[in-house]
Amino acid sequence: MAFSPEIHPLFPVSPLQRLDGAPRQLPTYRGDVAVVGTGVAGLAAAITAADRGLHVLLLSKGNRSQTNTFYAQGGIAAAMGSGDSPDFHAADTLKVGCGLSDSSVAESITQNAPESIRWLQSLGMRFDLEEDGNLSLGKEGGHRAARILHSGGTLTGKEFQRVLGNHAENHPSIDIIEGFTAVEILKDAEGEAAGLVGLMCGNANGGSSAPVLIEAREVVLATGGGGQIFRETTNPESATGDGIAMAIRAGVDLQDVEFTQFHPTILYLAGAARFLISEVTRGAGAILRDRTGHAFMEAVHPDAELAPRDIVSRGVFRKMVDSGDTHVYLDFSSVSNACQRFPELARITKLFGINLEKDSVPVRPAVHYFIGGIRADLEGRTSLVGLRAAGECAATGFHGANRMGSNSLLEGLVHGRRVGFSIGEAFDRPGRRPLLPMPGNGQVQDGAALHMLDMTYSLKSLMWRQVGIERDRAGLEDALSRLSAWESYLANLGPFTPEGVETVNMVQVAQAVTLSALFREETRGTHFRTDFPESKESGQSHTLLTADAGGLHIRSQPVTVFERAR
């Protein structure tokens, strides 16, 4: 079945059609601002807004530490060393972005990086230091200077989560609600965002759930990416694209969701969790080798292991395909004191009988980061008044078509703070407002008709196989046809539970990614089309996707244009 690249006629169905009742009848929580997500972007936005006197409801799907931030190993990029500068950092970011980065956004975020690092330090953030007491700065792919700050080697994310999480927990103007699965964005009679409907579990680790209403004058989505739509991923199980899916159903513009970044090195052993092996290990001298011991990346790119991640990922993938192997190897023999430098990696590999300093580690690529997402400006404003987006679920134009290593924690930190500050400075919207009716009437079929785990496995395998590192029209069209069939019955038959909502979200985000990948008929950054292997030399543009009553609409937009909601 072939699809027009400009429109996909199936409108994404809301899981709320399985819910009976009016919004005002639900148990209700009220605040000035509702922030969905407790990673770096959500925490930074919540703290900054609360510091300006606003009452913030900070909503977490599970335990508030179950975030991509917590698992981040690489570090945070900031021009803090001698001979480096924010302008130099911005230039590197723009180069890696392959023509789709917004120069004003890159300049703003990199200029604000040093001050944001000092803000973190004032909250108690502990960065690794050299013997002389200066910051220890590492180097990663795409960076021409050493500007990567780490905590505990590869434990940077845990330190972020500790510092920001503790500060939010102790803030008098922040209420943290765990076990909350956001389901839908609510609009008022003026068509503006006015809150959320969600499912509240009895505890943060699951259990039975019940619908609740969140009323807020500003809603911030900081829900992270959707790495769980792919079979091989470094993301935690909670990364199901919830914010992006809610934005689709609310008719909010998405941007460049075809760009999903693959990390080239995850631990690949039968039965082992897909443990990410940070790029900092290659910066320290670890070498990628095939099964014969040949260091193959030198023939792929002049920077070898420190080439941009999309190039390293494709180099590893192509070596696997050509050799018929399921993985390659990462050799640490030339890294001095590897076990001391990377203690968590040494601990994990030792559990599987691998001595990090003597044995090569089997690795392969996996989906790591959503570059595209909800279209947002530097204040987080989207195409829907009252709705903002920050962090990985947002597409600000910072990363362009390819994310440079350790720029993600930076964007989440700087962007989240700016979103919170902007809300605090411009907070003048009225209080309670009439809400538009929700879409459901409760008259649906029994959810037991679907096996949700089988649906999820089928989705993840399809996306990895046909919308993965290498793509082509035939594979994308077939994937879109299958996804459309699944989506057409999933929202009706799936249970109105956190698991059922997540599955709907994953399928709808997968549709958006696939349709956008089909629309972009070129290779650029992380998006590689084997049937269009060259990049277009002129007319560089973003891919915009919006849902309305006619279905999913997709179009091109010049790089420098952003139509703000207000």
Buried b (16+ CB within 10 A) or exposed e, 382-400: bbbbbbbbbbbbbbbbbbb
Annotated catalytic residue 309: yes
Secondary structure letter of residue 207 according to DSSP: E
What is the C-alpha to C-alpha distance for residues 403 and 373, in angstroms, rounded to an integer?
13
- Return the CA Rg of the chain: 22
Give the angle subtended at the CA of 426 by the CAs of 559 and 198, to the nearest 5°: 80
H-run or E-run covering 425: helix 407-425
Spatial distance between the Cα atoms of 281 and 332, rounded to a whole number of angstroms: 8
- 8 Å CB contact between 373 and 394: yes
CA distances from 544 to 99, 111, 475, 555 (A): 16, 28, 21, 5
The Cα–Cα gap between 560 and 548 comes to 25
Distances (CA, A) of 74 to 140, 154, 155, 213, 343: 9, 6, 8, 37, 14
CB-based contacts of 87: which residues, under 8 Å, 6+ apart?
107, 110
What is the CA 546 to chain-centroid distance, rounded?
Answer: 19
Spatial separation of the C-alpha atoms in residues 258 and 544, rounded to whole Å? 10
Q: What's the CA gap between 509 and 487, in Å, rounded? A: 11
Name the active-site residue from 18, 64, 282, 309: 309
Residue corresponding to tokens 């399809």 = 462
C-alpha 231: how far from its chain's center? Answer: 16
How far apart are alpha carbons 220 and 203 in whole angstroms?
Answer: 23
What are the catalytic residues?
309
